[in-house]
Amino acid sequence: MNGRKRAAIKASTSIVPAVNQESPILPCRILLLPRRTIYEILARLPIKTLFQCRSVCKRFLCFISDPEFAKLQLSKSQVCILIKTQPLQNASKRLQLAHVESSGSNFQVSKLNFTPKSNLPTIDISHMNACNGLLCLVGSEKDYNFYVCNPILGEFITIQPPYKDIQRGSFWGLGYSTMMDQYKVLQSYYPVVESNNRYVTAEIYTIGTGSWRSIGNAPIDTVAMPFNAFLNDTLHWFPCTPNGSEFIHTFDFYSEKFGTLPPPDHFREDDKKFTNYSRIGVLGGCLFMIYFTNSTRFDIWVMKEYGVKETWTKQFVVENLYPKQGSWDFYEPMVVLNNGEILMLYNNDAVVCYNQKRKNLRGTKFFRTRSQFDATAYTPSLVSLNNIAKGEQISRMQVTKDYDKLCTDEFQDCVDCGVQLVNPICSFPPFGVPYGTVNYHADMFGRNSESRCAACMDRRVAPAKSFLSLWNM
């Protein structure tokens, strides 16, 4: 063998690593952080990304399933637009959810579809409203039931009304009492009584009690639910007929009483004739009201301090509108984006965007529907009905049941690389079970467990460095 061949063979064999010199696998760095820090990071992710994180590893799935994390995520979750077509189109038996963010002059839109097979107890609904991540669906004329569900988790409860074959009133909705920590459903109806005096009765259902309670009479005005109706433990409605007695109707879920809120000072009694062109709602945590000065301009008044009439302030002026064929159009502000633009529902068949600096409207293509649609403010949440509807019969969609069946296979993760390990002693808790109540790990967030895969046992990496040293790597 000549010298060149011997040199080539020597060079090729020198680059083959030895078996015992493999590079060590470092632990997943995020799992070295305190549990609260991990929760703060995950809670800022969009709901679609967060839901995908459930499949990363068992620890992530346990983090996201913790009720403590669900409350934190709900407090940071942003308002999304949920639409239902009128009537529901046969080709699209679903509700559509869109989360919109501004990126300069462009939009970043993340969409989810809610279907009966995966998210909803039924699609045969007449009305809907939302509160704290829960969705309240009102059955059609053939189905008088109320459904309270979390479409993200596929959980729901069915609430049967106390009476059937009655005419429902326009005051209804799901709400929450912070002081009592209770979710409640309000409904109003016309009693079947032979009388010349037409009156409306109201009843309340506290979730977890299983029964309705009468709370007296409700207002007789015809009202409609705005896009975002819930604020300060109170639902708000606006009158949709010219002969309404008030500008703003309210219902407080703590005191369980109906009430009203005063409009700005310059509103006159004659303005009630045009309330069918006005709207109320919630923007940036404050109650707002629209006032049309003419067919091409309207003002948005904001109540800076809830319940105080003197704090009504003209916050926005929307002008340069061009009504179709000289008629009045319907606008309802929904969301103020980071760049100051306002997304508005337009004539219940489109979403438009108003630029305050340029004072112009532009169309969007978030939803492609061939009919008009209802829009509701929905805040995606991972709050489980297991924690807020104790005593109720909680049902789950089959898809989520199959998912949990996969999640409860008896295995755990390698503490170093995160690979799944078979462990006949351990099982994973379902959604809504607090950390510590199930024997998942002796200390899930500690680094003392000896559950490692075979590869990591062979390598036995060096002791973990401090958080600061890892941060600077």
pLDDT tens digits for 120-145? Answer: 988 888 889 999 999 999 987 677 88
The pLDDT-based confidence of 369 (bands split at 50, 70, 90) is confident
Query: Residue 287: its pLDDT value, please?
Result: 95
Query: Is the separation of the CB atoms in 126 and 374 below 8 Å?
Result: no
Instruction: Express each pLDDT in 43-56 by its tens digit.
Output: 998 888 888 888 88
Q: How confident is the model at residue 293 (pLDDT cuts 50, 70, 90)?
A: confident
| Interatomic CA distance for residues 224 and 233, integer angstroms | 18
pLDDT score, position 425: 37
For residue 469, is pLDDT > 60?
A: no
pLDDT value for 123: 85
Dihedral pair phi/psi, residue 337, rounded to 5°: -80, 170
What integer is the mean pLDDT of 9-24?
48
Q: How far apart are CA 157 and CA 47, in angstroms?
A: 22
Q: Is the pLDDT assigned to residue 192 strictly greater than 50? A: yes
Could you tell me where the DSSP H helices lie in 54-159? Answer: 58-65, 67-76
Most confident of 85-89, 172-176, 407-411: 172-176
Averaged confidence pLDDT in the chain: 77
pLDDT tens digits, one per residue of 320-364: 777 665 567 888 999 988 888 899 998 888 888 888 888 888 888
Look at residue 437 in the predicted model and tell me its pLDDT.
Answer: 42
Q: Is the pLDDT of residue 34 over 70?
A: yes
Q: What is the mean pLDDT of residues 442-453?
A: 44
What token pair was written down for 387?
């924690």
The reported pTM is 0.78
Residue 37 has pLDDT above 80, yes or no: yes
Q: Helix 35-42 vs helix 67-76: angle between axes, to the nearest 10 degrees?
A: 40
- Tens-digit pLDDT profile for residues 91-100: 457 898 988 8
**In this predicted model, what pLDDT tens digit does every residue of 308-321 receive, in sequence order?**
999 999 988 888 77
For the chain, percent of residues with pLDDT exceeding 70? 71
